[in-house]
Amino acid sequence: MAISLAATPPMGWNSWNMFGSQINEAAIRETADAIAALGLRELGYNYVVIDDCWSHKGGRDSNGDLIADPEKFPHGIKALADYVHERGLKLGIYSDAADRTCAGYPGSYGFEEQDAQLWAGWGIDFLKYDYCNAPTDQATALERYASMGAALRKTGRECLFSLCEWGGRSPHLWGRAVGGHMWRVTGDIFDSWVSIWVAVDQPYYGVGIDVALDVAADLAPYGGPGGWNDLDMLVVGLKGKGHIAGAGLSWLEYQTHMSLWCMASLMIGCDLRTLDQESAALLMNLEVIAVNQDTLGIPARRVKQAGHCEVWRKPLADGSVAVALINRGSSGNDVVVRASEIGLLDRPKRVRNLWTQHDCHDVAGELTQRVQPHETILLKLTQP
Ligand code: GLA
């Protein structure tokens, strides 16, 4: 059966990393305009997702319907969906499988069908469904996500279902079965190379890029067409700004972050209205995005670890392979890759550096590249 939703990893933008609770319809409209004006839409970034804090904190209306916060969204969500659709984009919304969301707004537990119908009527195309304030066992999580998955299907409207229980209950094993198209595999990413553990009542919070790489490596085999591991929204472009904490990354670290997230979903998290050129270059490299959106849909696997350096390999639909050479250490290092380690033969192959978009020297059996601390070199190797 052809997969209609998430055949390749979902791409878009989400409000949380930058705006937190400070969202409103003007910011969402301006973001949709920026996505269109910058050419991000043509690259595939097509979901605009409103995260937590969009609804009336006081509760539902007399019919039990969720209400958009009248101050933040005076024209309502339907009008916003129309605006986003007119620009060739899709609108996402957020809720939680309990009485309250993570930020304390009304959740959807017990209102699954009613909320799904309401969102379908508004023209919602994507639901991020969080898990704060819900029982911690796996069976309950499965039940609650299945219930929302069924409610979404019942509306008859196509809606991408994004599960967000942070990986604690192994959603990679059951996400597809409950109707999910992507599932978070870590806690909240922060704009930091190392993890910042913050004392809050959430199981995982303040995950650094370095830690997320290991989770991605372990779970790579579970992602594929129709269901993807979600490493959380990108921090590219934040540079220490925005709602989530973190000192920001160096350019090489942002490049490593983008290189490895290309193996999963790409949801931008920065303020696109003021996107700087350096970040735009990372988010908008056509050849890098092509690796992410490759129709074979096989996430990259880590095939080699040598000291602090790693080699990741992602086979592509045209028979070539994308290879990431990562240096997680603190001094520059030569990374050696042998053809057999990445599933190629000892024959000459064309090597293209995807970040610089330049062909490098042809190699036969072995390739050596100098990789700077926290840098990732992304190559495409084609064997004629
Ligand atoms: C959780 C999620 C975040 C974000 C916030 C909103 O922490 O993991 O991605 O949605 O809730 O409150």
Is the CB–ligand 1 distance for residue 100 below 6 Å? Answer: no
According to the model, what pLDDT value does residue 197 have? Answer: 66
Q: Is 210 a catalytic residue?
A: no
Instruction: Answer yes or no: do 323 and 279 share one domain.
Output: no
Looking at the chain, how many residues does it have? 384
List the Cα angle 30/33/38 in 5-degree steps: 120
Q: Is 130 a catalytic residue?
A: yes
Helix (H) / strand (E) containing 350: strand 350-353
According to the model, what pLDDT value does residue 363 have? Answer: 76
Phi, psi of 91, rounded to the nearest 5 degrees: -110, 135
Instruction: Answer yes or no: do 256 and 339 share one domain.
Output: no
Q: Tell me the C-alpha distance between 71 and 178, whole Å.
A: 35
Closest Cα to atom 9, ligand 1: which residue?
Answer: 188
Distance 268 CA to ligand 1 centre (A): 15
Instruction: Answer yes or no: do 61 and 210 share one domain.
Output: yes
CATH number assigned to the domain comprising residue 338: 2.60.40.1180
pTM: 0.95
Is the CB–ligand 1 distance for residue 52 below 6 Å? Answer: yes
CA terminus-to-terminus distance, the chain: 32
The one-letter amino acid at 134? A
Q: Is residue 5 part of a domain?
A: no
Q: Tell me the C-alpha distance between 148 and 132, whole Å.
A: 15
Q: Is residue 4 part of a domain?
A: no
Give the end of a domain, one of 245, 271, 292. Answer: 292
In eight-state DSSP terms, residue 313 is: E
Q: How many helices (H) and strands (E) does the chain have?
A: 11, 18
Is the CB–ligand 1 distance for residue 164 below 6 Å? Answer: yes
Instruction: Answer yes or no: do 282 and 305 share one domain.
Output: no
Cβ–Cβ under 8 Å, residues 375 and 256: yes
Q: Determine the structural domain holding residue 264 and report its residue range.
A: 11-292
Burial 131-144 (b: 16+ CB within 10 A, else e): bbbbeeeeeebbeb
Q: Is residue 1 part of a domain?
A: no
Q: Is residue 28 part of a domain?
A: yes
Is the CB–ligand 1 distance for residue 25 below 6 Å? Answer: no
- Using alpha carbons, select from 304, 291, 263 the residue that is nearest to residue 354: 291
In this structure, the strands spanning 90-96 and 126-130 are parallel
Ligand 1 atom showing the smallest separation from residue 233 Cα? 9
Distance 130 CA to ligand 1 centre (A): 7
According to the model, what pLDDT value does residue 377 have? Answer: 96
Instruction: Answer yes or no: do 120 and 142 share one domain.
Output: yes
According to the model, what pLDDT value does residue 201 have? Answer: 46
Instruction: Answer yes or no: do 280 and 307 share one domain.
Output: no
Instruction: Answer yes or no: do 254 and 358 share one domain.
Output: no
Q: Tell me the C-alpha distance between 265 and 268, whole Å.
A: 10
Please give the tally of structural domains in the chain.
2
pLDDT tens for residues 230-270? 999 999 999 989 988 778 999 999 999 999 998 777 999 99
CATH number assigned to the domain comprising residue 33: 3.20.20.70
Give the end of a domain, one of 292, 321, 348. Answer: 292
Instruction: Answer yes or no: do 53 and 136 share one domain.
Output: yes
Burial 211-237 (b: 16+ CB within 10 A, else e): bbbebbbebbebbbbbbbbbbbbbbbb
Is the CB–ligand 1 distance for residue 189 below 6 Å? Answer: no
Catalytic residue from among 51, 69, 125, 130: 130
Cβ–Cβ under 8 Å, residues 210 and 179: no
pLDDT category at 2 given cuts 50, 70, 90 is low
pLDDT tens for residues 190-232? 999 988 765 444 546 788 898 889 989 999 999 999 999 999 9
